[in-house]
Structure 1
Amino acid sequence: MRTTCSGGCEPTAARAAAAPPRLSAMAAAPLDDAVRRRSGRPPSSPPPPPAFLTAPPAGLPRRPPRRPSSFPASVPTPPQPAPREEDSATAGMTVNTPLCFRGKNILAPMVRVGTLPMRLLALDYGADIVYCEELIDIKMLQCKRVINEVLETVDFVAPNERVVFRTCERERHCVVFQMGSADAERALAVAKLVESDVAGIDINMGCPKEYSTKGGMGAALLSDPDKIESILTTLVKGICKPVTCKIRILPSVEDTVNLVKRIEKTGIAAIAVHGRKKEERPQHPVHCDVIKAISEAVSIPVIANGGSHDFIKEYIDIETFRKATDASSVMIARAAMWNPSIFRKEGPFPLKEVMQDYIKYAVRYDNHYTNTKYCLCQMLREQLETTQGKKLHAAQSTQEICEAFEMADFYEDTRAIFEAKKTSLETKIQDDDDQIEDPDVIKMAVRFDKREYPPQITPKMYLLEWCRKEKHPQPVYETVQRPLDRLFCSVVTVADQKYRSTLWDKSKKLAEQAAAIVCLRTLGVPEGKLCEGENHLINKRKREDLEHLNNRDHGKDLAEPSHKKANFTEETSDMNVPQMPR
């Protein structure tokens, strides 16, 4: 049973027109002639790059001249291969066009591999759709959406400031967000959080690893069809983007087909099937016959997965696997992890060039070096004992990885460009702040350094004690976070007067301490620094501590020093930190 999907596209053989390159303004940097030649495109005169890429902002010192580099002066991008016939289905795609899952070559979701650099590289080499790595719903619900203006990305940032998911305009119409979830309401909440930044939502129902199944997610869902139906139905009804799921096969073909038919009734757009049972591993043969039985039993697109070991060694093998399973599309995992240029119809690139292309994206999008290193190690595989492999293994930073691949100049040039842009944006934000800021706020350029204060003594504590002594209401702190760099600024109000530091801090607590310092210094009140040796409060506390220790050594029962009593504790508000209006 076959029907045309909602996207209105036909299988691969029916598509012929080539699609234009899918590049954002940032990613559309000019390519050097050497890259164009090996991508099958003639050299051309590139357009001038944006102004912020060619010259640092006013006041920023220019970098000294460097020897010529083999990479463009603007923010580089890996090679864009010649357009493929299969790309015609995505030509002219708009945000309102549903993602089509027929006749597609798809990058599979892979933990630690499916991050932004790998997804973009797969698209460059010819992949039609890319899935991100599985991200757990509970972790995503703790994140907040942040626009990264330096990288031109959308970041979903955890409370510890770690970027959990990063995406960009380049992939917005072809990236599917895969989540691990065992709860319909949590899954819907995550889907709504990311819906505007992705092309589709997928639920992982096939991962056999303990970290997924122990929470009732992944392959554990296969034994609970009611929960599967609840999650998928809730998502289909709750969001506008297409919903898919990825499963493994059950012990019997009949049970597998019955489950897929039930899943189809939820209204999902497609289903990906890994042709192995949950207890089977990559060395076991993929069950093409089961995937084929599923393809013949349902009308929604079936995406075949699991053929890397048995079938897919080069591009032509993708179609072989598609025919063997009678599937609508093919999803590739390990073969793409080893060499993402497997998606190139013209044939793969040499591995070293592929790795250099990957590194370009890793630097361009500030990928964490441990993730970059892991992905590169998966590509090297048996070559890890070579000189190149040993250099990679020894690398402890992105810069050292670049040096191992003779890309040190590229790293330095790209970082300099981003530093210049960051400085320019910070200057603009500061100018905007000065224009809209309350003129009655008293400001100083101060920062809290806990090394300058005794243990357990902070400016906030001193300010609170002073307010109580003077019969003022306790200080009120209002803190905002700047989207550009996720730094914090706090304003403290004491006796109807506001105070703040002009320096932004990396945490809410530090920003509040800095605001308290500004207030204390303005009022002429001691702030508790170690250098304030004449401060009567500190001297009193030192005497009490010393007396307490001496009496304890002599076995005497002495009350706690007065400054350690409960009435002298720092009070921290539980208010949520709002995003600063942009």
Structure 2
Amino acid sequence: MTVNTTSLCFRNKAILAPMVRVGTLPMRLLALDYGADIVYCEVERFPLRQNWFWWLKTTRLGLGLLSLKAQSHNNGILEVLGTVDFVAPNERVVFRTCEKEKDRVVFQMGTADAERALAVARLVENDVAGIDVNMGCPKEYSTKGGMGAALLSDPEKIESILTTLVKGICKPVTCKIRILPTKEETISLVKKIEHTGVAAIAVHGRKKEERPQHPVHCDLIKAISEAVSIPVIANGGSHDFIKEYSDIEAFRKATGASSVMIARAAMWNPSIFRKEGPCLLKDVMQEYIKYAVRYDNHYTNTKYCLCQMLREQLENAQGKKLHAAQSMQEICEVFEMCHFYEETTALLEGKNSLLEATDQDVDDQIEDTDVIKVAVRFDKREYPPQITPKMCLLEWCRKEKLPQPVYETIERPRDRLFCSIVTVAEQKYRSTLWEKSKKLAEQAAAIACLRTLGLPEGKWSEAANHLVNKRKRQDQELLNNGDHGNSLETEATYKKPHFPPGVPNPNIS
């Protein structure tokens, strides 16, 4: 079995564990500053259940995960922050990374489908150091979708997912599991996992029904380490073992593992990775806030992580002020960092102003008093197969003996979104909404024209659909004539590099 080769090594490493809500970019960068060798990022649940990975039981969009789009940035954020953002259909950033962590961040996903997992892995593999599959989460919102710990009872699906990923991407693949009810079952599973070609396996030394207050089973992690030749990453020692940096090595020896993955101890104080010893919590929190402001981390996430660091101090005056904070600015006020907040936000706003000026130049290119604008979008699900607004508009122009529609599409540099203007009978039409592709922008422009003229768009909901009936007749005629070639009528579209000059509005009946 050939394992994907990479510079990423999983032996003798101190690793930041994947933690939902905690392992965002600011925390990962802070852990790297304090000495973490590898940082894992968990991107399987909050806030993705409805928009990304919860497609596992959804067929409405087919491979619904592909609606996740790796955009150059979100609303100008990339050029301002220097990040790479992956944005869900609701425009929420679900994974943000940057050049500093590119060679040391592992992207963990929750999945129950091999092909969909591969599609997601291919979306992000150029911006991460590795891909991990979560097979240990015991929470219901994960297991009810067949993900997380639910996979532990389905070895065949585990093999399918991991083998598909190992063969399908160039970056190393790992997985994180919990131990099974018996030692024999656990050893049998990890050997099957090893044969898939994964680069390493992380083991949380508890059963799926056990929680942090239960002791970690170091003996079972050690048995796993002795049973396989690939690196084993021990996880689950924060409660019983790891209180400072020297404890990391003690836990590694107790488990016989190659490396140690730290979750809660790092959440409470990321300087646990610092060989010289932990830093004062006050200094750690201030450094975290700096990263949170610089990288536009949402204040609710920032607040949550700071509360985890304060722990028992949440009841003192500072903790109460933090609990009451409702913005990043108020959080900075709690920690006496108002000056830093004002300086940093002013810098970011200055960069954003430059982008907006560039956007305005683009908008000026399409601002035309002769253009009729309608706020519409094209949703493929609302139309029969092979029927689109562009086809309907083309058919109508032919029927009325008018020139074919001319589409002029422009890309906005700030966010690489598109807007298209269609000219029909010397009148221009466009949607006011920007789209993610040229094709969608052109369909939206066609809809704007059709609605303005009061013409059918070809939707399922329309009582009589001339194009659908015509297409059926054409297909039947071709079949009767023995012609098995392409029966679809090609959409004729003329592209022009520049917008035409304005022309008077004609009267169109």
Shift of 1:262: 0.9
Q: Which residue of 2 aligns with 1:141?
A: 66
Seen in structure 2, the aligned counterparts of structure 1 residues 263 and 372 have a Cα distance that, compared at 3 Å, is same
Q: Distance in 1 between matches of 2:320 and 2:374?
A: 41
Q: Is the 8 A contact 1:184 1:230 kept in 2?
A: yes
Q: Distance in 1 between matches of 2:123 and 2:297?
A: 22
Equivalent of 1:128, from 37, 46, 61? 37
Shift of 1:208: 0.4
Q: Which residue of 1 aligns with 2:167?
A: 237
Letter in 2 for 1:320: A
Equivalent of 1:250, from 180, 184, 187? 180
Q: Is 1:102 matched up with 2:11?
A: yes
Q: Distance in 1 between matches of 2:169 and 2:115?
A: 12
Q: Distance in 2 between matches of 1:500 and 1:224?
A: 51
Alpha-carbon displacement from aligned partner over 1:308-327 (angstroms, at most 9, x marks no partner):
00000111100000000010
* DSSP 3-state at the match of 2:81: coil
Letter in 2 for 1:130: V
Q: Is the 8 A contact 2:130 2:172 kept in 1?
A: yes
The 5 Å alignment of 1:42-81 reads none
Q: Distance in 2 between matches of 1:374 and 1:249?
A: 29
Q: Distance in 2 between matches of 1:400 and 1:442?
A: 40
* DSSP 3-state at the match of 2:206: strand
Alpha-carbon displacement from aligned partner over 1:298-356 (angstroms, at most 9, x marks no partner):
11000000000000011110000000001000000000011111111111111121111
Q: Which residue of 2 aligns with 1:152?
A: 82
Equivalent of 1:332, from 262, 267, 276? 262
Equivalent of 1:292, from 222, 230, 245? 222
Q: Is the 8 A contact 2:30 2:270 kept in 1?
A: yes
| Greater Cα shift, 216-225 or 405-414 | 405-414
Letter in 2 for 1:127: A
Q: Is the 8 A contact 1:311 1:321 kept in 2?
A: yes
Q: Is 1:193 matched up with 2:102?
A: no
Seen in structure 2, the aligned counterparts of structure 1 residues 405 and 498 have a Cα distance that, compared at 3 Å, is same
Q: Distance in 1 between matches of 2:245 and 2:426?
A: 70
The 5 Å alignment of 1:275-354 reads 275-354=205-284
Shift of 1:379: 1.0
Equivalent of 1:207, from 137, 145, 163? 137
Seen in structure 2, the aligned counterparts of structure 1 residues 249 and 447 have a Cα distance that, compared at 3 Å, is farther
CA RMSD across the alignment: 3.9
Q: Distance in 2 between matches of 1:474 and 1:376?
A: 60
Alpha-carbon displacement from aligned partner over 1:442-466 (angstroms, at most 9, x marks no partner):
725999899xxxxxxxxxxxxx9xx
Shift of 1:232: 0.4
Alpha-carbon displacement from aligned partner over 1:89-108 (angstroms, at most 9, x marks no partner):
xxxxxxx8431000000000
Q: Is the 8 A contact 1:6 1:100 kept in 2?
A: no
Q: Which residue of 1 aligns with 2:199?
A: 269
Q: Distance in 1 between matches of 2:161 and 2:445?
A: 47
Q: Distance in 2 between matches of 1:150 and 1:566?
A: 45
* DSSP 3-state at the match of 2:320: helix
The 5 Å alignment of 1:408-557 reads 408-428=338-358, 443-444=368-369, 482=412, 484-485=414-415, 489-496=419-426, 498=428
Seen in structure 2, the aligned counterparts of structure 1 residues 447 and 290 have a Cα distance that, compared at 3 Å, is farther
Equivalent of 1:407, from 337, 349, 361? 337
Q: Distance in 2 between matches of 1:318 and 1:359?
A: 26
Gaps of 5+ in 1: 8-95, 451-463, 520-526, 528-564, 568-574, 576-580
Seen in structure 2, the aligned counterparts of structure 1 residues 233 and 496 have a Cα distance that, compared at 3 Å, is farther
Q: Distance in 2 between matches of 1:446 and 1:497?
A: 7
Q: Distance in 2 between matches of 1:226 and 1:283?
A: 32
Q: Is 1:184 matched up with 2:114?
A: yes
| Greater Cα shift, 167-176 or 424-433 | 424-433
Q: Distance in 2 between matches of 1:211 and 1:481?
A: 39
Q: Distance in 1 between matches of 2:6 and 2:124?
A: 17
Alpha-carbon displacement from aligned partner over 1:520-556 (angstroms, at most 9, x marks no partner):
xxxxxxx9xxxxxxxxxxxxxxxxxxxxxxxxxxxxx
Letter in 1 for 2:70: R
Percent of aligned pairs with the same residue?
Answer: 77
* DSSP 3-state at the match of 1:149: helix
Alpha-carbon displacement from aligned partner over 1:381-428 (angstroms, at most 9, x marks no partner):
111111111111111111111122111221221111112112223334
Q: Distance in 2 between matches of 1:442 and 1:369?
A: 36
Shift of 1:172: 0.4
Q: TM-score, normalised by structure 1?
A: 0.64
Seen in structure 2, the aligned counterparts of structure 1 residues 448 and 347 have a Cα distance that, compared at 3 Å, is farther
Alpha-carbon displacement from aligned partner over 1:351-384 (angstroms, at most 9, x marks no partner):
1211111111111111111111111111111111
* DSSP 3-state at the match of 1:112: coil
Equivalent of 1:168, from 82, 98, 101? 98
Q: Is the 8 A contact 2:14 2:262 kept in 1?
A: yes
Q: Is 1:395 matched up with 2:325?
A: yes
| Greater Cα shift, 405-414 or 471-480 | 471-480
Q: Is 1:373 matched up with 2:303?
A: yes
Q: Which residue of 2 aligns with 1:555?
A: none
| Greater Cα shift, 222-231 or 369-378 | 369-378
* DSSP 3-state at the match of 2:137: coil
Q: Distance in 2 between matches of 1:504 and 1:202?
A: 37
Shift of 1:484: 2.5
Seen in structure 2, the aligned counterparts of structure 1 residues 480 and 341 have a Cα distance that, compared at 3 Å, is farther
